[in-house]
Amino acid sequence: MTSPDGAKPRLYFEDLHAGQRFTGSAACTVSEAEIKAFAAEFDPQPFHLDAEAGRSTVFGGLVASGWHTAALTMRLILQGGPALAGGSVGLGAELDWLKPVKPGDTLRVQGEVLTTTPSRSRPDRGRVTMRVETCNQHGDVVQVCISKILVPRRPASHDA
């Protein structure tokens, strides 16, 4: 996914097709401190804030907020996923949290284009749905995200 000068080519709507896969993402390891800091700001529940308090809950310990996993996934997509022309402009997303993310877990992402749909009303853009799996160091899928993204079409004057 890199061009000869090392910069990723910017992908337009025309460059994407169903079945196209993106692998080899960056990795990020989630620390206990990061889990607690995110939770304190956005999702202050016992099982996201304190290992001891989490022990008596359905999780049995400290786990990351699903919204934290989603936000980290976004960062990993930007770091290692396709570089979309116009940026990664999300219209929506469908998330499934399959396994908890625990302190020390290392996350990676892999993606696949599901559909590409030209806009009927706006000839300069299209909508792409992409399935992104977030995996931990054991290869378990912790989150599946199907995201709807707005992608510009290649301008007529633009050669490749």
Q: Which helix (H) or strand (E) holds 8?
A: none
Count other C-beta atoms under 10 Å from residue 155's C-beta: 10
Q: Which of residues 15-44 bind a second copy (CB under 8 A)?
A: 38, 41-44
Count other C-beta atoms under 10 Å from residue 158's C-beta: 10
Shortest CB 74 distance to a second copy, Å: 5
* From candidates 107, 109, 130, 150, binder to a second copy by CB under 8 A: 150
* From candidates 62, 72, 101, 128, binder to a second copy by CB under 8 A: 72
- In the DSSP assignment, the letter for residue 155 is P
How far from chain centre, in Å, is Cα 109? 7
Shortest CB 16 distance to a second copy, Å: 17
Which two three-digit tokens encode residue 134?
């977030």
140 in contact with a second copy (CB under 8 A): no
Per CB under 8 A, residues contacting a second copy are 38, 41-47, 57-59, 65-68, 70-72, 74-75, 78, 86-97, 150
